[in-house]
Amino acid sequence: MKTIPALLAAALLAIPATVQSQKLFKCVDAKGKVTYQETACPTDKDQKKVDTSHAGKTDWERAANEKIKRRSEEAEAEAAYQEKRYRKEMAEREEQRRKEEREYLKQLQSGGEVPLPK
């Protein structure tokens, strides 16, 4: 059973950790022939730079990164919601305490029997 994790680790180490993004150019000549090359196109050919930033990443890596990002955003939103809820609850408790304090002082000033505060 320990051989499976060891093989998995070896396989993951064999995959390059990061793939350097390269400059890649798409060149189209006057006849419409398309070529791709790492150097800039000659001046007589139309040139477009090709985005290679995603090169080497598999679909599952991109999906995993998107999932992590989405979960992080969801966690931040949940934390903000919980903070807002906590602050509201604390404000309500403080208001209730003040209300009870005012009522206690009114009873105390009127000279009536006053139960001890909680």
| pLDDT at site 51 | 67
Which spans in 15-58 are helix H?
none
| 106 lies in the same domain as 62 | yes
Q: Is residue 77 in some structural domain?
A: yes
CA atoms within 13 Å, Cβ hemisphere of 38 = 2
Neighbours of 63 (CB within 10 A): 10
User: Distance between CA atoms of 19 and 70, rounded to whole angstroms?
Assistant: 24
107 and 80 in a common domain: yes
Q: Rounded to an integer, what is the distance from CA 114 to the centroid of its chain? A: 56
Whether residue 11 lies inside any domain: the answer is: no
Q: How far is the CA of 8 from the CAs of 34, 60, 66, 108, in angstroms?
A: 40, 16, 23, 76
The reported pLDDT for the residue numbered 24 is: 77
Q: Does 105 lie in the same domain as 62?
A: yes
Please state, in angstroms and rounded to a whole number, the distance separating the CA atoms of residues 68 and 17.
18
Same domain, 97 and 67: yes
Clarify whether residues 63 and 75 are in a common domain.
Answer: yes
User: What's the whole-model pTM score?
Assistant: 0.42
- Do 62 and 44 fall into the same domain? no
How far is residue 95's CA from residue 107's CA, in Å, rounded to a whole number?
A: 19
Number of domains in the chain: 2
Evaluate whether residue 16 is within a structural domain: no
Total length of the chain: 118
Is residue 34 domain-shared with residue 73, that is, in the same domain?
no
Token output for 30:
């006057």
One domain for residues 95 and 81: yes
Task: Determine the structural domain holding residue 36 and report its residue range.
Answer: 22-55
Sites in the chain below the pLDDT cut of 70: 1-22, 44-45, 47, 50-57, 114-118
pLDDT of 39? 82
78 & 88 share domain: yes
pLDDT score, position 94? 97
